[in-house]
A and B are shown apart, each in its own frame.
Chain A
């Protein structure tokens, strides 16, 4: 599976949109982009995934560049409860998830 690069940490203001970038320049055509998050002391939580089209659900939006070498997870209105570590994972269907360091997001009042 392709390697991903994420910023180590970022802050965002409560009520504002949080844009979390992820680079995956070696992504293959059959690999999906997944996002999970882990709130302190809890098990990771699935957020969203996509292949090449932008995706939106009740939690977030996923924007994938046309060349698929990078993506951005958007939390439209960050709340204090969105403070967590966010993991961007690239993998083919059927392969196992590999968690890296993720981005520590701190939502500030």
Chain B
């Protein structure tokens, strides 16, 4: 069973607020990812990290930022939330190295910006 956690699970917030979505994993995985998914649509990678102090932008442009100060923690921040940021945000982690990688996903955070 994968041990990856996301908080909050649901968030309703007003436009202009700063928010941080938390993601933590206890598996010691070096690789961590953030995906964005609108209802009924495909998942899109928005950020990833291959280790501490390493962050990269994903395939889909996002106004959010991430940090990786500790291996187990990969928070995502929106400095000023807008209605266009309304979506589901999914965090995942996986082992580094050249072997086939299994990614483990958290339960997701559903964000609604009013």
User: What is the bound-complex CA distance between A46 and B105, given in angstroms?
Assistant: 9
Given the interface pairs A96-B45, A101-B42, the reply to whether A42 lies near B100 with Cβ below 8 Å is no
- Which residues of A have CB within 8 Å of B48? 96
Interface flags, B31-67, vs A, CB<8A=1, else 0: 0010100000011110010000000001100000000
- Which of chain B's residues has its CB closest to A104's CB? B40
- Taking a contact as CB atoms under 8 Å apart, the answer to whether B90 and A46 are in contact is no
User: What is the bound-complex CA distance between A41 and B58, given in angstroms?
Assistant: 22
Q: Which of the four size classes fits the interface of chain A?
A: 20 to 34
Q: How many residues of B contact A (CB 8 A)?
A: 25
- Which residues of B have CB within 8 Å of A97? 45, 103
The A interface, classified by DSSP as helix, strand, loop or mixed, is loop
User: What is the bound-complex CA distance between A30 and B102, given in angstroms?
Assistant: 16
Q: Is A68 an interface residue (CB 8 A)?
A: no
Q: Is B74 an interface residue (CB 8 A)?
A: no
- Which residues of A have CB within 8 Å of B12? none
Q: Is A44 an interface residue (CB 8 A)?
A: yes
User: What is the bound-complex CA distance between A20 and B76, given in angstroms?
Assistant: 35
Interface residues of A in 25-65 (CB under 8 A from B): 32, 34, 36, 38, 41-46, 49, 51
Given the interface pairs A42-B108, A43-B107, A44-B90, the reply to whether A49 lies near B45 with Cβ below 8 Å is no
- Which residues of A have CB within 8 Å of B101? 93-94
Q: How far is the CB of A41 from chain B (nearest CB, A)?
A: 7
User: What is the bound-complex CA distance between A99 and B104, given in angstroms?
Assistant: 14
A residues at B contact (CB < 8 Å): 32, 34, 36, 38, 41-46, 49, 51, 93-94, 96-102
29 contacts across the A-B interface (CB closer than 8 A): A41-B88, A41-B108, A42-B107, A42-B108, A43-B90, A43-B92, A43-B106, A43-B107, A43-B108, A44-B92, A44-B103, A44-B105, A46-B102, A49-B102, A51-B100, A93-B98, A93-B99, A93-B101, A94-B97, A96-B33, A96-B45, A96-B48, A96-B58, A96-B59, A98-B59, A99-B35, A99-B43, A101-B42, A102-B42
B residues at A contact (CB < 8 Å): 33, 35, 42-45, 48, 58-59, 88, 90-92, 97-108
